Amino acid sequence: MWEFTLASRPSRLADHLQGFTLPVLVVTGDDDRIALTRDSIRLAQELPNASLEVIENAGHIPHEEKPEIFMEEVRKSMQKIQDRHLVN
């Protein structure tokens, strides 16, 4: 419970998003009512090396609601990272 309480405090993470250099895959459901879909979209736009996948007909847990689609997006993202690494 203590960790949950700490997590609800302002983190100022948004002030540091430009410092993230690793590739990030942001996945959200198109009907996420906990971490709002629009906030995930904004996060992907603000991270310098992010890609976004919005899974249709899914909510907050698209990895459980649509596991096949979720895993396909993870595979594609990992393949892009590997391909970029091989080129460099």
The predicted model scores a pTM of 0.81
DSSP helix/strand/coil, 39: helix
DSSP helix/strand/coil, 66: coil
Domains delineated in the chain: 21-87 (3.40.50.11320)
**Cβ atoms 47, 40 nearer than 8 A:** no
Question: pLDDT digits over 34-87, tens only?
Answer: 999 999 999 999 999 999 999 999 999 999 999 999 999 999 999 998 988 787
Sign of CA dihedral 54, 58, 61, 66: negative
